[in-house]
């Protein structure tokens, strides 16, 4: 079952990308963000958790948004997916360096 993600302008991942972009440049920031997302996905899959992005608002409020409910996959299927993601990330990292 897949849920629609609520569109937000501010998210922790966007803040991370913008910080990295200022310090290491656009291309490397994309790779850093891809790696961070892959790591988060790995953690979520191995711990069977849902992703919650804490989104900050002007008055200091925090809203947690659930992104996706995943379908049931075997451990082998999960490992295969993550291996492919990390392989793609490594290839892009090598090209940008």
Q: What is the mean pLDDT of residues 55-65?
A: 51
Q: What is the mean pLDDT of residues 61-83?
A: 69
Our measurement of the distance from residue 13's CA atom to the centroid of its chain's CA atoms, rounded to an integer in Å, reads: 7
Our measurement of the distance from residue 73's CA atom to the centroid of its chain's CA atoms, rounded to an integer in Å, reads: 19
Of 6, 10, 15, give the one whose Cα is nearest residue 61.
10
Specify whether the CB–CB gap between 54 and 12 falls below 8 A: yes
Q: What is the mean pLDDT of residues 30-56?
A: 82
Q: What is the mean pLDDT of residues 42-48?
A: 85
Q: What is the mean pLDDT of the chain?
A: 75
Specify whether the CB–CB gap between 43 and 49 falls below 8 A: yes
DSSP 16: H
- Bridge-partner residues for 21, per DSSP? none
Does 49 have pLDDT greater than 70?
A: yes
């Amino acid at each position: 079952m897949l849920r629609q993600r609520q569109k937000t302008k501010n998210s922790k991942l966007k803040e991370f990308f913008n910080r990295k972009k200022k310090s290491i440049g656009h291309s490397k920031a994309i790779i850093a963000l891809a790696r961070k997302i892959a790591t988060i996905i790995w953690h979520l899959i191995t711990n069977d958790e849902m992703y919650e992005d804490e989104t900050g608002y002007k008055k200091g409020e925090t809203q947690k948004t659930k992104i996706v409910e995943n379908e049931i996959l075997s451990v082998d299927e999960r490992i295969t997916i993550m291996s492919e993601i990390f392989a793609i990330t490594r290839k892009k990292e090598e090209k940008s360096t």
